[in-house]
Amino acid sequence: MNIWCDRVVDADGVRERVRFTHAGGLVAAVETDVAPRGDDVVLGTVIPGVANAHSHAFHRVLRGRTHAHGGDFWRWRESMYAAAARLDPESYFELARAVFAEMVTSGYTAVGEFHYVHHRQDGTPYPHEMERAVAAAAESVGIRLTLLDTAYLTGGIDRPLAPKQERFSDGSAGAYLDRWHELRDRVGHGARLGAAVHSVRAVPRDAIAQIAAGLTADVPLHVHLSEQPQENADCVAAYGLTPTELLSEAGVLSARATAVHATHLTGGDIALLGEAGASIVMCPTTEADLGDGIGPARELLSAGARLAVGSDQNAVVDPFLETRGLEMHERLAHGARGRFAPAEILRAATDDGYRSLGWQVAPLQPGGPCDLVEIDAASARTLGSHPTELMLTATAADARRVIVGGHTVASRGRLADGTSPAQLLHDALRRFP
């Protein structure tokens, strides 16, 4: 069936009375100013599909459990390692399914899972079981997945892996690439396979260059970048380069590259990322929760980079709160409103988020994914909002219907089959007391 929308709000503005014809999960044709037909799925106000461009699904275990500990990012990281130690393919599937269900019912239609829990706790390999578990979890709830399979080789610059990090590592860049290329043929479950270098802390300079050269140009390549000042200090001490300069010299920076966080940058770093046309994934709720800082989002966009948003540790799963965090953090940092135009905010959540996950055509464009989110434009939160500013007033509670590939996958807070994400989360979290 075709999809008819009373109003479509995207980065180009507002269109009225729009019909989308879809085939194979993609938009085949778009008609504007037409009446609905009897066989159409009829929707109200919609936006294009929203991409969660950076997620660590298993971090959801820590929600509401670490605040009393205090400390900083490094203190929090110890709790994260403890959660990772409890994962096996069965529990990972169950947890990821629950987290992806929460995402899709909240209004996310695609996710980039930054995945590095590859092996058993002692580092002995699983035959791609962890990766396939994540892919199966996404398929089971109907969210699009780009599995960002991640290289993780050291415990810090010039430091060996700690025992708790062994299961993340393939041992060398060559071994990582061998496993990655084998996985490309085996991941299955409709997932796209991307790649990631965890960080300049976790992958040496020569290995970063080897990995970048060993992947074809169509593969999205992500990396955590300058999330903490200590990373910058260690990188400059070891290499005489900032992390961004190191990535540039290693051949990473290009239009296929995505830097996550990019919080503590120099002016030169911003220029390099902008000149490369790289994507930047800001994760406002995580960057606030962990005390990371506020990154130079406006400066990066003005320099030529593209912005996207991610939920990272999944302490909050709400695409509307995450996206308007871009603007709110800018207001806090600069004491001014309107740092981003509404269209720029929406483009980050939709078109450019999908681009960072390897999609060359944006959702709801001919040839692009037939992915969209119907928003309740008459709720207590949204009533009176200009259509172009709904991303600044709505929350996940206003995601009425979520459509991926032309098919309804979630409606009014539940999956298409009526399953509650809360029940899935309840069952999954029993494994993590």
Helix (H) or strand (E) holding 48: strand 41-48
Residues 98-140 pLDDT 10s: 999 999 999 999 999 999 999 999 999 998 999 999 999 999 9
Predicted local distance difference test score (pLDDT) of residue 118:
97
Predicted local distance difference test score (pLDDT) of residue 426:
97
Average pLDDT over residues 145-173: 97
The side-by-side arrangement of strands in the sheet containing 192-197 is 50-55, 108-115, 144-151, 192-197, 221-225, 257-261, 279-282, 306-309
1: pLDDT strictly greater than 80: no
Residue corresponding to tokens 């085939």? 23
Lowest mean pLDDT among 121-125, 240-244, 399-403: 121-125
Q: Which amino acid is at 232?
A: N
Q: Label residue 384 by pLDDT band (50, 70, 90).
A: very high
* Proportion of the chain above pLDDT 70, given as a percent: 100
CB-CB contact of 184 with 132 (8 Å)? no
Predicted local distance difference test score (pLDDT) of residue 70:
82
Running DSSP on this structure, what letter comes out for residue 155? S
Residues 291-348 pLDDT 10s: 999 999 999 999 999 999 999 999 999 999 999 999 999 999 999 999 999 999 999 9
Residues 82-100 pLDDT 10s: 999 999 999 999 999 999 9
Mean pLDDT of all residues belonging to the chain: 97
Pick the closest to residue 373 from 81, 11, 45, 54 (CA basis).
Answer: 45
Predicted local distance difference test score (pLDDT) of residue 67:
86
159: pLDDT strictly greater than 80: yes
Predicted local distance difference test score (pLDDT) of residue 317:
98
Running DSSP on this structure, what letter comes out for residue 71? -
CB-CB contact of 91 with 121 (8 Å)? no
Running DSSP on this structure, what letter comes out for residue 17? E
Catalytic center residues? 261, 312
- Rounded-to-integer distance, Cα 222 and Cα 151, Å: 10
- Rounded-to-integer distance, Cα 229 and Cα 214, Å: 30
Question: For 213-278, where are the E strands, in sequence order?
Answer: 221-225, 257-261
